Structure 1
Amino acid sequence: MSKIADRDQTNTMLPDTSPGIYAYCLTMTPVAFPHTMTGIDGMHKVYSVEQDGIFAVLSNVSLQEYNEETLEKNMTDVTWLAARAKKHEEIIEFVMTNNLSNQNETSPSSHSPSLHISSSFTKGSMGEKEWGGESEVAEKYYTPVVPLRFCTIYKNLEGFFKAVMPHKEKIISFMNYTSDKLEWSVKVFCDKTVVMNNYDRNKEQSPFANQTSLLPGEAYLLKKKARKVQEERFRIDLQAYLKDIDYTLSLYTDRYRFLQCTNKSIHNRSLDMIMNAAFLVEQQALNAFKNTLDKLAEKYRDEGLVFGVSGPWPPYNFCPAL
């Protein structure tokens, strides 16, 4: 018996160290996990448990480490949080792309709907997926899932299914609804320097451009007023750009949702994030969605806008409340 199994057995026998249940996602398709795949704690194995046609993807965790008090403290530790959030995401993605239909290289059966995509997105560093127009990745069937929130933990299986099964119809309905859809993230960043330089190049259009013979104090105030006018023009133009981007992309998506923009310390770019949105895209609309993004990126390149696109992701932002 392995050390992990011994530890699990010991935890079961001692109430004060008994393992809890960490939940990653729900699906309607069985998944076989490698023996080497461990859960969020890097120790316990990942497994699935089926009840009434719903498969829950789980792993055991120590309730000494994953209790409310300890988690509240660890959530402020960026290193602890990043590593475990990445692991949480990787396991859900494994479920999406490694159902038994994929493993057997067969088409998905009628009772386990999956999304078939030939994607031109490649997997980059740290799990981030980026637009990769030059390379094609293997075709895959994406199994619909209901991703659960990071650190969804129960004391035992009974408590978990007691919380989940009252929502059975809602869960199945959502997975059927997303069987041909996946979530894509679109972020728009702005290089304000480029925009303001464009305004400066067109300063002959400014009502303040032809002022001459001004005293130093007057020149300073006039320059300050001109900058204020440019700032207001920048704000108005930006709203028009975003309205156009929003409307154009919405034509090729089933649903979309605007999310909070993050600051530079989080997104690690030198530019300001001005749009952060999630789009639920149908398989048949994916190429049109991609081509539209390419056109928008080209259209607004000279306006100082930069597009960041990633996916496919589990439908985090469209899941029903459980």
Structure 2
Amino acid sequence: MDDLIYLYGLIPTKEADNQSFPSLKGFDGTGELYTIPVGNITAIVCKLDRETYSEESIKDRINHDMEWLQEKAFHHHETLITLSKIFTVIPLKFCTLYKNPDSLKTTVQSNESRMMGTFDLIAGHEEWNLKIYCDDQLLKKRVSQSNPVIEAKREEISQLSKGKQFFEKKKLDKLIESELEEEKNKISEKIHLHLKEFALKGNVKRTWGTDVTGRKDNMTWNGVYLIAESKVENFLEKIQQYEEEMRKTGWQFEVSGPWPAYHFSIFS
């Protein structure tokens, strides 16, 4: 029975023809990566034993073997990074498998127009990620002291009897939390819009909780940007400027990249 085909990514065939392909180990650690040309698009793949890497066995390893998952996910990611330094790559999701070369070719052929459009979009660009963190206690103190909505509420409470003040102060605490979140979003959105001026595209991702980040401060923003190589330096300088200006007020910036265009590619 034929082996399974593990698909890492897709590159323009004209680039595959003009650049030598690196020697890279495949997903199983023994076989090597190779290419399958499909017209104007070339798939970068490796072979996997059908029994060892069946859909059921992979699901079981993903659900029950964290060490294996981390090792293989790291391999997939590092392989794509290596390839993206040489080619314009449409990166595929972790564990994208095909039953045989023909099924892979059918998928590529049916999506050729969209894939070629994606190559045009991401060529000469890099993906960068920015996570913004905030010390809520520092910002809450500033919001509590300077926010006109909160000041108006305090003034309203001061005019009430002591009995009513107790319950209204509970509402005030909730109002401060609400205004804090609004302030965090407003500041982060403003930064995001400024950074998009350097990018061809900029998207917002879901923020992570402290249980995932392992940090004490909260993530207030998670943005991803597709930036022309010529503008990356200016983009990074702008983030450094924000970091220097806002550090004392409890804001921190974590930028990473360049990455393969995971968030701006078809099928990613």
Paired position in structure 2 for 1:22: 6
Of the three residues 296, 300, 307, the one matched with 2:253 is 307
Paired position in structure 2 for 1:12: none
The more displaced of 226-235 and 256-265 is: 226-235
* Separation (CA, whole Å) in 2 of partners of 1:208 and 1:60: 68
Give the unaligned 5+ runs of structure 2: none
Any conservation in 1 of the 2:73–2:94 contact (CA below 8 Å)?
yes
Task: Say whether residues 1:187 and 2:127 are aligned partners.
Answer: no
For residues 90 and 220 of structure 1, do their structure 2 counterparts lie closer, same or farther at Cα, with a shift above 3 Å needed?
same
Identity %: 23
Q: What does 1:1-322 correspond to in 2, within 5 Å?
A: 15=1, 18-28=2-12, 29-30=15-16, 31-34=20-23, 37-77=24-64, 78-97=66-85, 99=86, 143-199=87-143, 206=151, 208=154, 224-321=170-267
Instruction: Give the secondary structure class of the aligned counterpart of 1:43.
Output: coil
- Residue 82 of structure 2 aligns to which amino acid in structure 1? F
Any conservation in 2 of the 1:39–1:46 contact (CA below 8 Å)?
yes
* Separation (CA, whole Å) in 2 of partners of 1:189 and 1:173: 35
* Separation (CA, whole Å) in 1 of partners of 2:242 and 2:132: 11
TM-score by length of 2: 0.83
CA deviations 1:12-39 (Å, max 9, x no partner) are xxx2xx42110001112234233xx322
TM-score by length of 1: 0.70
Instruction: Give the secondary structure class of the aligned counterpart of 1:24.
Output: strand
* Separation (CA, whole Å) in 2 of partners of 1:176 and 1:236: 38
* Separation (CA, whole Å) in 1 of partners of 2:102 and 2:25: 22
- Residue 21 of structure 2 aligns to which amino acid in structure 1? A
* Separation (CA, whole Å) in 2 of partners of 1:286 and 1:275: 20
* Separation (CA, whole Å) in 2 of partners of 1:183 and 1:242: 19
- The alignment of Structure 1 onto Structure 2 pairs a total of residues equal to 257
* Separation (CA, whole Å) in 2 of partners of 1:291 and 1:271: 23
Moved over 6 A (4+): 200-203, 217-220
For residues 246 and 202 of structure 1, do their structure 2 counterparts lie closer, same or farther at Cα, with a shift above 3 Å needed?
closer
Q: Which has the higher contact order (CA 8 A, sep 6+)?
A: 2
Q: Which has the higher helix share?
A: 2
* Separation (CA, whole Å) in 1 of partners of 2:11 and 2:203: 23
* Separation (CA, whole Å) in 1 of partners of 2:107 and 2:178: 51
- Residue 84 of structure 2 aligns to which amino acid in structure 1? M
